[in-house]
Chain A
Amino acid sequence: MSRFDEPDYYKKEELVQIQPKPPRTPWMETPVDFRPGTYIYPGKAKNLKVLDLPNPRDWAVTDVDWQLPEGWQKTILEGMADRLKRFRSFKLFMDICVRCGACADKCHFFIGSGDPKNMPVLRAELLRSVYRKDFTALGKVFGKLAGGRELTVDVLKEWFYYFYQCTECRRCSVFCPYGIDTAEITMMGRELLGLLGLYVNWVIEPVANCFRTGNHLGITPHGLADTLEFMTEDIEEATGIKIDVPINKKGAEILFFTPSGDYVAAPGIYTCMSYMLLFNELGVDYTWSTYASDGGNFGLFTSHEAMKRLNAKVYAEAKRLGVKWIMGGECGHMWRVVNQYMDTMNGPADFLEVPKSPVTGTVFENARSTKAVHIMEFMSDVIRHGKLKLDPSRNDHIRVTFHDSCNPARAMGILEEPRYVIRHACNHFYEMPENTIREQTFCCGGGAGLGTDENMEMRLRGGMPRGNAVRYVQERYGVNQLAAMCAIDRATLPTVCDYWAPGVQVTGISELVANATVFKGEKRRTHNLRLEPIPGMGAEDEESEADLVGAGAPGEGQGGMGHE
């Protein structure tokens, strides 16, 4: 018997029975229903203590009494007033919505669940109703008639439920005529909840870990050294190349940082191996850092302050190690932080140099202040200059599609670089339907700290639009791999694909590149970095062919991915 935190528990036929009509009761009078599989466990006291956060205690979401601190309403309202004075986005987005509903069916959680409070407009109205009651003239005079609402425990519970049912993907903000960004609303909502010690553990534990050990998973420095060392053994087995792993190396040219998800779990580890292989091949003088060993930043999903506290390590470490510039790996929300917050929060990075590729001499003008370059910007430039010998036919058994990750797409706009790289590494690349890619891309359903198993029903529902688009290219073009440059994608999309489009595997882009690269001094490449035999490379002579017979699309791999 499967449990509510396993995908098998949910029948597809039932999950797609989505009620198109809103309930009879008005939304202000429909209380939240905490159903297992649709909410996340609360933050544990020990993690709140590490971060000096208020009201640490152990509690359960289903408890009637959430053990709120004395005078909590006042705390929230003062918190709102404070943020209305500090964030124009918040103030403006509270004021200017006309409830046109253009955002409604743009949210993956609404599409997948039909719950009206997952319409971005209503998610914002949860806060706005309280705002109107206490901060606007009309609301003060007309109260409920003007859409105002008293702040009660039920409202607070609703906030907790729905602000942790938003992945801050910003898709709605693309369609909003005023650019109202629900990510801003959700971030404020979560900050306010945080004032009362209301966090989810899937977010706050990584934050606590990252604060202490430098990465979300809590990997110790020696543990990380072991992990990377271990990867070099697999690299040698697959390619015959022995590489060094520079860690905490002072005076290196580049500090490289990437999400910690790629250190430990498939398929992320193959991406991580690929970084090292490619840097080695290109002769890049770089270093890993154990202190700043995570590019990801769950602080973004907690509060602006938490984000800044975690992000501070990156520049501090760059300064300590004396590097010239910073390069970041394939990650989604990390690039939201790097592109839109890092320089403002922890800059100026005047001790670094304007990034210049040591391989091609290209100066990255677009990163001249932050001094942080995305690996796909770096790699596309390398490939453009012909500095890598690529044999895309090594990936001929792969029919790949590309999933734009929310933040790189909508908080940065890095759309062509990854596509350029994929096209040079693979001969068979197919786009998903246009309403599901680029700036209109759909979230994996597990971003912003929602990718935990106890939230399985919402993840599968939220992942439905993406899964549906994958299924489309799978049926139409025989797509068998989905490339994504985001560690959360690599952690959560295998579940989504297994469920909605079984047979499609998830990969990082760097992995595709490394598998296609003809390395100097490599041995005969019969196996890819996953140590699976590469069809047509002679591995079949040695391995049993039986495994491959009967698979639908060409080369549908049987490899050990999709599970951890």
Chain B
Amino acid sequence: MNVLISLVVVACLLIVGMFGATIAPQWIFAVALPYAAVAVFAIGLAVRIMKWAGVPVPFRIPTTCGQQRSLPWIRQQKLENPSNKLQVLGRMALEILFFRSLARNTRTELRKERGLVYGTDLFLWIGALAMHWALAVVLIRHLRLFTDPVPAFVTFTEKADGFLEIGLPPVNITTVVLLCALLYLLYRRLANARVRYISLPEDYFALFLLLGIAGSGAWMRHISHTDVAGVKELALSLVHFSPMVPTGISPLFFGHLFLVCVLLMYFPLGKLVHGPGVFLSPTRNMANNNRAVRHVNPWDYPVKVHTYEEYEDEFREKMIAAGLPVDKE
């Protein structure tokens, strides 16, 4: 049910984008919406991050995943259990660039004869890593449309990506990887009963949306070509704030663009904020050096305690009888 709702919603969005542009004035879909989407994305994300950042971190609570720094002759695992900022930076880099924690993933199975067995399970890690990295490369490639002259690193990325030189224009590896990874993540969500059980409509929606964007993009490149020059003209005009909509751009492009706009606007509202969020995660971005450097809680307040005097008042006679020293005889 959740799956169907999400699929239908994304399909409708695609159709709205494709044909909306032909029915309604083009500037709505080609100009106003992209501007609005970028604004919502940027402001929304900034607000979201500022909201997080505005909440204090009262205690230093890193999850330690290796040997602490203690005695000089014991080797500290600096990236798993950092004790200073530099090491934290290293840990965060591993986490953000390579999804370190996900790479630990295991599968637990209860077997009749052997009891519990644990196997390494890297499919999710590979799928997630492939999806995110491919998406990053695809985004870099798209810079070609927004720049003139095109920067060297964009051209280089594109060349490298298409080095197989299959087809014309050449098939980019990341296109294939992105689509496969998204399909795998969707398959996993559906096929794994446990993951299906915890999934919300939003989880499918995000996947379908990305699939719709990647699929329509690939379609335009390889199957029904759109007027790339026209698209670039439009993109550049938007960047230079002198919007101009050339004619002859296919409806599919507007479908693609519309989905991208939806993604941009949805991004700061939903679960996709996990990207920026991970930077702020207190169990990962803090050093385990609490005993060496004091951490201050900004909202610390006094609490009611049971003082030694109250304690001794209650037990004084018995303490004296037991030969224990007391403060007040």
Contacts and interface: CB of A to CB of B under 8 A. Distances in A.
A472 B105 contact: no
Q: Is the interface of B mostly helix, strand, loop or mixed?
A: loop
Assign chain A's interface to a size class: 35 or more
Interface stretch (B24-32, B244-252, B296-304): B296-304
Contacts of A436: 118
B107 A105 contact: yes
A22 B303 CA distance: 44
Interface stretch (B139-147, B217-225, B233-241, B316-324): B316-324
A95 B270 CA distance: 8
Interface in B153-212: 192-195, 197-203
B315 A348 contact: no
B305 interface: yes
Contacts of B59: 304, 340-341, 344
B201 to A, nearest CB: 6
Interface of B: 5, 48, 51-52, 55-61, 63-71, 73-75, 77, 80-81, 83, 95, 99, 101-102, 104-108, 110, 115-116, 118, 124, 128, 192-195, 197-203, 269-271, 273-274, 277-278, 280-284, 288-297, 299-300, 303-308, 311-312, 314-315, 318-319, 321-325, 327
B71 A101 contact: no
Contact of B200 (A146, A417, A471): A146
Interface stretch (A60-68, A311-319, A443-451, A491-499): A311-319
Contact of A101 (B194, B201, B281, B300): B194
B313 to A, nearest CB: 12
B296 A344 contact: yes
A343 B294 CA distance: 6
Contacts of B194: 22, 101, 104-105, 116, 119
Q: Which of A116, A308, A416, A436 has the most CB of B within 10 A?
A: A416
Contacts of B293: 369
Contacts of A95: 48, 52, 271, 273, 277
Interface in A457-482: 464-465, 468-469, 471-472
Interface string A211-235: 1111000001110011000000000
Contacts of A435: 106, 118
B291 A370 contact: yes
Contact of B110 (A86, A96, A111, A340): A111
Given A344-B296, A365-B292, A411-B61, 16 more contacts: A87-B55, A87-B57, A95-B271, A104-B198, A111-B110, A119-B198, A147-B201, A174-B101, A184-B283, A220-B318, A222-B322, A343-B291, A344-B60, A369-B292, A384-B73, A439-B64
A247 to B, nearest CB: 6
Contact of B74 (A180, A226, A420): A420
